[in-house]
Amino acid sequence: MCVTYADSVAYSVMNHDDDTPKVKGVWRLFVYSAIGAFVFFFPISYKGNSSIPLDHIVTMLKEAIPSVIPWIILALAAYGTVRSMKNKNWREGPLQAVFTVLNVVGLVVSVMAVTGKLPWVLGDDDLVPFLWEKIATPVGLIVPIGGAFLALLIGYGLLEFVGVFMQPVMRPIWKTPGRSAVDAVASFVGSYSLGILITDRVYQSGGYTGREAAIIATGFSTVSAAFMVIVAKTLGLMDVWGIFFGVTLVITFLVTAITVRIPPLATIEDDYFPGATADPERKVTGNRFKEAKREALMALDRAPSLARAIWDNFLDGLRMAGAIVPSIMSVGLIGLLLERFTPLFTWLGYLFYPFAWLVRLPEPGLVGEASAMGLAEMFLPSTAVADSGSIEVKFVIGVVSVSAIIFFSALVPCIMATKIPIKLSHMVIVWFERVVLTILLAAPAAYLIF
């Protein structure tokens, strides 16, 4: 029987003990959490590049063994493909059967990428090499390594401590627990893959319901601030970088606040992961700091040893990376080929034409087509309007690239590799909703700025 959020809250309140638990090794809460927060959230400079330490660790690894990295990513693709076949994933339904086949395709493409034997147009810089070097390799390294450090961030009380303070904000606006604020920050300063890894880990441990996990994965797990810089540079928006970043951040989360209240997200079952012990956030009415301390110490009391936590999280990240890499190389490639050789995205663009026209954007046809291209890969819309003579169009499409969140070259495979209960069709609908809402909100902002 599934446990609902309401049932779990009632149980938590009825069995609440006001006494703060006595826990040995309280220093772990401060030391481990501080290290985890530093690795994920505090940008530092390395060789002139400012990014989070986790990103620098991956960069150092790539510099140390550049000839080995491609084979590591290929091994991950092979592991994920063999694992899906060994587990007979195709028995879980038609969609999983399709993804099992796509994993095999992705593995074949990965082999060709490593050996340099890419036929036809696949060797063009904006096709397989782009997927392999810019998406598959970073994600394949960041997810397992980030998973190991994730143990420090979410396993020793920090998540619960932050959650108590963020509860008055997150629950009323986005219908998610306060602890989901950590997911949002991890995505913006780190990577959407890290955000999804956190979400899936917390969902499977009983910290989120299925609906909450789906909201977080499709509403907060956007591209990192570092990648937003690339978008801004491509569109010539670096002169207003601070404004672009701030507006994008606000609109992204404002759009999420709307999508959580409409189907399909509003109709997803609000149940906890089957077999998990429900661990909802208790509504706090008294001293918030005292309750935050209590929740953190309770989490610390049931935390495993550091070695066990790091190993378990690393294995989770390894499994997720294995599932993601072959999907990126197949699903992402299909999306890019459709964009190059078919009018599919031109047709999809007509869906957004009325909204671009409604807010009086110049070149509404271009806006519509560029917005549709984001379903394949989030960077494509920016390249489509880079030569536009309208700064308003560039600004709106820049915001759309980030706020749409859903794209097939990477994020969809990431979510499909988790236990988060959201259908592929639901993700496409959420993408459409997010693009429409972003156009409607970003256009007035662009007119005010420019």
pLDDT of residue 189: 60
Task: Please write the tens of the pLDDT for every residue from 1-28.
Answer: 344 444 444 334 334 445 567 888 889 9
Length of the chain: 450
Residue with tokens 């809402």, as numbered in its chain: 437
Contact 381, 401 (CB under 8 A): yes
Predicted confidence band of residue 77 (pLDDT cuts 50, 70, 90): very high
| pLDDT above 80 for 237 | yes
| pLDDT above 70 for 204 | yes
Look at residue 272 and give its three-state secondary structure: strand
Q: What would the mean pLDDT of 301-315 be, rounded to a whole number? A: 88
Look at residue 50 and give its three-state secondary structure: strand
CA distances from 413 to 38, 95, 287 (A): 28, 12, 42
For the chain, what is the mean pLDDT? 86
Which contacts (CB < 8 Å, 24+ apart) does range 365-368 have? 366/393, 367/393, 367/396, 367/397, 367/439
CA distances from 228 to 222, 238, 241, 378 (A): 10, 10, 9, 10
CA distances from 265 to 61, 206, 428 (A): 39, 19, 12
pLDDT of residue 11: 36
* Burial status of residue 94 (CB atoms within 10 A of its CB: 0-12, 13-18, 19 or more): exposed
| pLDDT above 80 for 92 | no
CA distances from 320 to 217, 316, 414 (A): 15, 6, 8
Predicted confidence band of residue 266 (pLDDT cuts 50, 70, 90): very high
Task: Please write the tens of the pLDDT for every residue from 375-421.
Answer: 988 888 988 898 899 999 999 999 999 999 998 877 888 898 889 99
Number of H helices, E strands in the chain: 22, 2
Highest mean pLDDT out of 147-161, 256-270, 375-389: 256-270
Q: What would the mean pLDDT of 70-77 be, rounded to a whole number? A: 95
Q: What would the mean pLDDT of 157-181 be, rounded to a whole number? A: 88
Nearest to 319 by CA among 387, 394, 417: 417
Q: What stretch of H or E contains 44? A: strand 44-46
Query: Which of residues 154 and 120 earns the better pLDDT score?
Result: 120
Amino acid at 22: K
Residue with tokens 């549709």, as numbered in its chain: 372
Which DSSP category does 332 fall into? I
pLDDT of residue 17: 46
| pLDDT above 90 for 42 | no
Beta strands in 49-117 (DSSP E): 49-51
Residue with tokens 């059967």, as numbered in its chain: 97
pLDDT of residue 226: 63
Task: Please write the tens of the pLDDT for every residue from 323-361.
Answer: 888 988 888 888 889 888 999 989 999 999 999 999 999
Task: Please write the tens of the pLDDT for every residue from 117-141.
Answer: 999 899 998 889 988 988 788 878 8
Maximum CA pair distance of the chain? 68
Predicted confidence band of residue 179 (pLDDT cuts 50, 70, 90): confident
- CA-to-CA distance for 244 and 442, rounded, in angstroms? 10
- CA-to-CA distance for 445 and 375, rounded, in angstroms? 23
pLDDT of residue 52: 75
Query: Which of residues 274 and 163 earns the better pLDDT score?
Result: 274
Q: How many other CB atoms are found less than 10 A from the CB of residue 382? A: 24
Residue 209 main-chain phi, psi, to 5 deg: -85, 170
pLDDT of residue 414: 82
Q: What would the mean pLDDT of 218-225 be, rounded to a whole number? A: 81
CA atoms within 13 A on the CB side of 62: 17
pLDDT of residue 224: 67
Predicted confidence band of residue 55 (pLDDT cuts 50, 70, 90): confident
CA angle (135 as vertex; 134, 141 as ends), nearest 5: 105
Two tokens, residue 342:
């078919």
